[in-house]
Amino acid sequence: MRGGAEPAIGAGCSILMQNSEYYRREAAHARRLCAVVHQTDLIELLKRLAEDYDDIAEDLEAGLIEIRHAGRLPQSRHHR
């Protein structure tokens, strides 16, 4: 993740979520990269990534995903 908190993945695969603006910015960044990349497969990957970021932002805005503060994430005994 660029410019954000590192993911905190534990036994339940919990990830520290950012706010919806973060995901909107990342989607826009992926779309800007499409304009300068010349590999078709990479362009398609970036487009899918942008759509995924938009989906996450929409879910956050609709309250379908809960944002948790890093200090409140459960700690895993298997955490490296």
Task: Output the pLDDT for position 68.
Answer: 66
With vertex at residue 35, the alpha carbon angle to CA 17 and CA 61, rounded to the nearest 5 degrees, is: 25
Give the predicted TM-score (pTM) of the model: 0.63
| Per-residue pLDDT tens digits of the chain, which is 80 residues long | 444 444 443 444 445 567 899 999 999 999 999 999 999 999 999 999 999 999 999 999 998 877 666 666 566 555 54
Round to whole Å and give the CA distance between 23 and 32: 14
pLDDT at 70: 62
Tokens read off for 48: 């899918």
* Per-residue pLDDT, 65: 78
Outline where the chain has alpha helix (H). 20-36, 40-61
Distance separating alpha carbons of residues 74 and 47, to the nearest angstrom: 33
Tokens of 19: 């706010």
